Amino acid sequence: MGEAYWLFVVMVVFTVASPGPGVLMTLDNAVAGGWRAAMQGVLGLALGAALMAGLSSAGIGLLIRSSPALFQLLKYAGVAYLFHLSFKTWRRDPKTPAPTGRRETAPAAGAARKRLLDGALLQTSNPKSLFFFLSVLPQVARGAGGQPLWQVLAVATYCIALVLIHGVYAGLAARAGAWLSRPGSARLLSRLSALMFFAFGVTMLTLKM
């Protein structure tokens, strides 16, 4: 199990740290609401990852992979959600300055739940997450002699790594708040983020099983 597990850890670190919609959402939330707000979205991403891992373990991932219709439905749902994020980010009011870590306040419960839900939706709408777990978790389980406990450990490792790595991203983005709090900078960042979300959506359209 040891060799398979540590190989999995390396794969997780590179996968989680690589630029993608999840990282972009974390940076965007950190700029718009500070580190604490960004971490609410990160927890949503972790919950979504745990759900995707559970689905792959339950065999639903195999069903989706073997059914082109289900795969296309999931793919287009993910694309639609990325386009929605692009539209929402593009229209964000730049007059609302990007926060620094010094002026974070306790967020409203509704806003916190929305960030949590947005993170979970973003993670679960990406079929790449499902196929990552579908292709990697069986290898970890095989290396552990098929013991379910080690599969649970692999999922927990992924979620913990996601929270830690995205926490670093969020902290760096929040510390850049002095520059990002300028209306012109906030507008530029919103436009760039919107274009990147749109580009991720277009890229997902080309995804094949």
One-character DSSP codes across 132-176: HHHHHHHHHHHHTTT-HHHHHHHHHHHHHHHHHHHHHHHHHHHHT
H-state helical runs in 91-126:
109-124
Q: What is the C-alpha to C-alpha distance for residues 96 and 118, in angstroms, rounded to an integer? A: 20
Domain count, the chain: 1
Q: What is the pLDDT of residue 49?
A: 92
pLDDT one-digit tens code per residue, 43-87: 999 999 999 888 777 766 666 667 778 777 877 877 887 888 888
Measured distance CA(188)–CA(170) in Å, rounded: 18
Q: What angle, rounded to 10 degrees, do the helices at 2-17 and 127-143 form?
A: 160
| Range of the structural domain that residue 26 is part of | 2-205
Instruction: State the pLDDT at residue 182.
Output: 67
Measure the CA dihedral 132/134/139/140, to 10°: 80
Closest to 129 (Cα-Cα) out of 61, 29, 40: 61
Write out pLDDT tens, residues 99-144.
Answer: 434 444 445 678 888 999 999 998 888 776 777 777 776 666 665 5
